[in-house]
Chains A and B, each alone.
Chain A
Amino acid sequence: MDILTQFVVIPLLTITGIILVKDTRQVKMVSAIGMGLQLIMAGILLFLYVSARRAGNSAEMLFVKDIVWFKSLNIHYTVGVDGISVAMICLTSLVVFAGIFASWEVDFLRKEFFVSLILLATGVFGFFISIDLFTMFLFYELAVIPMYLLIGIWGSGPKEYAAMKLTLMLMGASALILVGILGIYFNSAPAGGQLTFNILDISKVKIPMSAQYLFFPLTFVGFGVLGALFPFHTWSPDGHSSAPTAVSMLHAGVLMKLGGYGAFRVAIFLMPEAVKELSWIFIILTSVSVIYGAFGAIVQKDLKYINAYSSVSHCGLVLFAILMLNQTAMTGAIIQMISHGLMTALFFALIGMIYGRTHTRMINEMGGLMKVIPFLSVCYVIAGLASLGLPGFSGFVAEMTIFVGAFQHPEIFYRVVTVIAASSIVITAVYILRVVAILLLGPATNEHFDHFTDAKWFEKVSVITLICFIALIGLAPFWLSSMIGSSLQPIMNKILALNPF
């Protein structure tokens, strides 16, 4: 079996294992082992990828495996990775791994919980390795549905409402995507010949402009919903706030990245001409997302809402950057995805842990936690600092790459919008520091808090793993950036060749 398919197979085997074990206590171990293995696999993949590139393999996608599936429609099971997918796979395995540990104390229907969680992960992994639009779409939908159960069963607050809203909005998004990919499919051979779902093959032809005008907005908005594009972001705050910890982590950390990645792989990559013509509309929307999300976060009282809005803002930046059709900005977008994935997963993990102790997420009901649970609080501060783009953490690298890249755009409109988007860094600082100040600093407000215990070992595993990687990217971004950049190079060349500015 090829290495990429294993990313789907290992979770499935893990699920089987979970179903088979009798003792519910072993469920956790099985999941942890499975996802640990997955993490190791991701590491191996990264290594293999980098060494293959070093060895001079300049194919656009590596480890390509192509199996004809539905022959008559030319649907293939095609997997392959470039630097971007490798990065996303690593991110996913990290977040899932951390998520398993963050949900160590789930008791209610434990087996089902971990099965759903890993099923969700399967969908995400499958999505990232696919280079066939059909399988990509299949895995996308696969990832959405476990979400419903996870939020609906193990969530809190108005969980049923939130779960339903989230699912329906995401499926609505997938409706647009479906129409989009069908449109792409039927225009994938304008000069006659075999229609195809293969992204690489489609990218070699020019989809007729009339089709692009129709299908670019559809696919972009479709994936944009998942990427929390204004005004379709509203599933995100409610969904996050009701979801259990690990689900929030996975959701904000990984699932929202499907949006950015998909928009990049499908909407932008396949229809660059339309991007050039229509990007201004979406640039406006995304920059609204960026600013709006940040402002929205300022006045929220629920920790998860704050982070949900912050995710809107950060993910808006991803979509913003990929629309720039500029290698640097796109590199930044990919790094931002990874960075945001890690940061927000960390945030949600911490919020979950804090909630597990205080049983509230309202910041004004808490205070002075730094004194009682220093470890978690310090981690929260670190997450906050990373989120506001402090150098040394991944957020800075991502944001700066985006801003510098976007600012190289030859048209003044795009540069002005870049400046507007850049101003979000200040607003981000405002809401992050507000939370830190109210939640962690100051005198302890509640006597009950005094007997809290600090993080347990599994919580530490979860949190430290994430922090390490955030810092790793922040301190040594060059390898990631060059890996992604070199993967983007051929794509950009192709786009620019088709579409010279």
Chain B
Amino acid sequence: MINLGYTIWIPLLPFLMFLLLGLAGHKLKHKLSGLLGTGGLAIITVLSYITAYKYFFTSEKIDGAYQKITAFNITWLQFTDKLHIDLGVLLDPISVMMLIVITTVSFMVHIYSLGYMKGEKGFERYFAFLSLFSFSMLGLVLATNIFQMYIFWELVGVSSYLLIGFYYQKPSAVSASKKAFIVTRFADLGFLIGILLLSFNTKTFDFITLTDPTGTAIAQGSGIVFMGLSVMTWSMIFVFMGGIGKSAMFPFHIWLPDAMEGPTPVSALIHAATMVVAGVYLIARMFPIYTFSAPVALEVVAYVGAFSSLFAAIIACTQTDIKRVLAYSTISQIGYMLLALGVSGYGGYEGLGYMASMFHLFAHAMFKALLFLGAGAIIHAVHSNYMTDMGGLRKYLPVTHMTFLIACLTIAGIPPLSGFFSKDEILAAALHSNKLLFAVEYAVAGLTAFYMFRIYFSIFWGKETQYHETPHEAPPTMTIPLIVLAIGSALSGLIPFNELVTSDGKAFESEIELLVAIPSVLIGLLGIGIAYVMYRKETTIPEKLAATFKYSYKWAYNKFYMDELYLFVTKKIIFKHISEPVAWFDRHIVDGTMNAIAYVTQSVSFRIRGLQSGQLQKYAYVFFTGAILLAILFIYLWK
């Protein structure tokens, strides 16, 4: 067994950095605090790579399968003998892969932020929050048990909240952060209920026990049926609800586009590369249970993923805020991943979807982070989020332009970039499982290529826009991460995921299925072509098209009125029809009852004052009748 105990420092170091920057940050110089945060991350990035190397290439395989290694574990909170929350580090292919993703992207974002956030008020706060986020995210992926995952799940939520609301004086940022937190919190409730159900049935939180295909946990619980589905299915659906929330799948996707109010590097890190894929990671982590105990739940995963990807892609085509387009694109891509998981089986080639999903996750992290950082560089240059304000930027921002183009090609699935490979395998997996979903995904692939190149052309080509100040290429702190990530996106397709990250830990053979690959590339090219026609030069085609599909365009432009629906639910139903009545009830009925008791006492006291009339004879009368009545009572009535 190789010694991996040091891995505990991977999450801990950012946490310490967070404490340092959070408590003492305002006393440090800005630059120093930025460098401290970045330095901390550099260390753990190196540690992660070492860990990955050790795990994939030196760790002992049993039966050709990678083992799950618990590198560190302490009991944090004991509920019962069997149920306890541990905090620890679990290493297995997906968590190690996630380590790489998170540290890489996070490190890049840190470097990028040094330039991007320069001179912002609250610089040290920003880095403190970033460290907190890194800590939480790493804790999440390294979780040894589902409750630890839930803990960090909440923590990433709050880091996301803090970072979205970083510009706390901007009302839109404040409300966006609030929305993000509450929507995900609601989803997390589902997650919690899922955990409760799961633990009630299996009496354990531990991932290794839970996901052992031959273990007792999977065998248990599937027998009990509630409303036609087994309890295990229910619990997995609830758990998935948490995933929907964090990964911004329909119908909980609404927070993600608003979350773009945060600083752009944050969007790159949290809302594109890492946190939002936590849902995918969660399903992957629990995958054996899904396949063996709750296939219905897995189907739900597939359909939710497919629907969200299509839905988001359509909306993405109509948006003009580049960050929002990217946000919808993220939703769409995560839908892809979930779909891949949903159609996957377990073990060997059956688990192609699983592998594809992880592959896509990896690739997506690279290129989506790149896209966001690129967008950040653009926004940095033109001080606007709207592509209507941009055009012809390729001259001013060459590096950004090139890297952005690479990213767009990657996401469009053009070989030999990484997106091509991962998407191809997802499509292949879908084909083997469900033709309908497969068809949907083809459509989404086309749409993706279209909207990505729509923004690409609008920004870098399109009309010649006059700028108040000539846009400048970003400083090296910002461009270097772009380049690194561009290389990552381009080359990560070469990583043999089928050997490293598979559903059962064993390598299997997979190759490009040309029957799937060629059409998908063609569809991608078609999308690019349409975008070229429409947006390469300033044309009126988009307006005409929009006019032709007036209503559908309007619906899509308004995000199918989902935000309005949510507003209706919160403002009208929760505030107006639950909370206010509750408050009213409390003031008037509950409190009123108490006051009424007091009032009645007082008024009775007033009413009976006539008894004390001051008239001696009335007193005597009462006295006498009292005596007589008592006598009658006790002699004749109640003896």
Contact = CB atoms under 8 A, between A and B. Distances in A.
Given A408-B200, A425-B189, A397 B155 contact: no
Q: Which of B150, B580, B582, B598 is the most central at the interface, judged by chain A CB atoms within 10 Å of its CB?
A: B582
A404 B78 contact: no
Contacts of A385: 158
A422 B189 contact: yes
A296 B185 contact: no
Interface string A272-301: 000000000000000000001001101110
A437 B152 contact: no
A204 interface: no
B171 interface: yes
Contacts of A237: 586
B196 A430 contact: no
B60 interface: no
A433 interface: yes
A433 B594 contact: no
A234 B174 contact: no
Contact of A391 (B75, B151, B170, B199): B151
B600 interface: no
Interface in A295-351: 295-296, 298-300, 309, 327-328, 331
B193 A422 contact: yes
B497 interface: no
A18 B188 CA distance: 51
A498 interface: no
Given A165-B594, A391-B155, A478-B77, A404 B83 contact: yes
B590 interface: yes
A404 B204 CA distance: 11
A299 B584 CA distance: 10
Contact of A390 (B154, B579, B582): B154
Interface residues of B, number: 48
A403 B192 contact: yes
B210 to A, nearest CB: 15
B575 interface: yes
Nearest to A370: B168
Taking chain B's interface residues, is the majority helix, strand, or loop, or is none over half, making it mixed? helix
Contacts of B193: 419, 422
B185 A404 contact: no
B155 A390 contact: yes
A298 B170 CA distance: 23
A296 B178 contact: no
A298 B591 contact: no
B169 A368 contact: yes
B307 interface: no
Contacts of B575: 298-299
Contact of B79 (A169, A389, A405): A405
Interface in A211-266: 230-231, 233-235, 237-238
Which of A168, A234, A423, A440 has the most chain B CB atoms inside 10 A of its CB? A234
B181 A429 contact: yes
A251 to B, nearest CB: 18
Contact of A296 (B80, B170, B175, B583): B583
A234 B590 contact: yes
Given A400-B147, A477-B76, A391 B152 contact: yes
Contacts of B168: 370, 440-442
Main SS at interface, chain A: helix
A397 B590 CA distance: 32
Contact of B178 (A231, A425, A437): A437
B594 A478 contact: no
A426 B186 contact: yes
Interface string B159-177: 0000001001111001100
A418 interface: yes
Contacts of B75: 478
A433 B178 contact: yes
Contacts of B186: 426
B583 A299 contact: yes
A232 B383 CA distance: 56
A407 interface: yes
Contacts of A168: 598
Nearest to B26: A374
B79 A401 contact: yes
A389 B155 CA distance: 11
Nearest to B152: A391
A47 to B, nearest CB: 22
A422 B583 CA distance: 21
A404 B75 CA distance: 16
Contacts of B77: 397, 400-401, 477-478, 481
Nearest to B187: A426
Nearest to A389: B154
A388 B85 CA distance: 20
B182 interface: yes
B630 interface: no
B574 interface: yes
Contacts of A397: 77
A299 B579 contact: yes
A126 to B, nearest CB: 28
Interface string B577-604: 0111011001000110110001000000
A442 B197 CA distance: 40
A294 to B, nearest CB: 9
B301 to A, nearest CB: 22
Interface in B532-579: 574-575, 578-579
Interface of B: 75-80, 83, 85, 147, 150-152, 154-155, 158, 165, 168-171, 174-175, 178, 181-182, 185-186, 188-189, 192-193, 196-197, 199-200, 574-575, 578-580, 582-583, 586, 590-591, 593-594, 598
Given A238-B591, A295-B578, 8 more contacts: A295-B583, A300-B583, A407-B197, A407-B199, A408-B80, A425-B192, A442-B170, A482-B78
Interface of A: 165, 168-169, 230-231, 233-235, 237-238, 292, 295-296, 298-300, 309, 327-328, 331, 368, 370-371, 385, 388-392, 396-397, 400-401, 403-405, 407-408, 415, 418-419, 422-423, 425-426, 429-430, 433-434, 437, 440-444, 476-478, 481-482, 485
25 contacts: A234-B590, A292-B586, A296-B579, A298-B583, A328-B83, A371-B169, A388-B185, A390-B155, A390-B158, A391-B152, A396-B151, A400-B77, A400-B85, A404-B79, A404-B83, A408-B200, A422-B192, A422-B196, A425-B185, A425-B192, A430-B182, A434-B178, A442-B169, A442-B174, A478-B78
Closest CB pairs A-B (n = 8): A298-B579, A391-B151, A407-B196, A295-B582, A441-B168, A441-B174, A299-B579, A429-B185
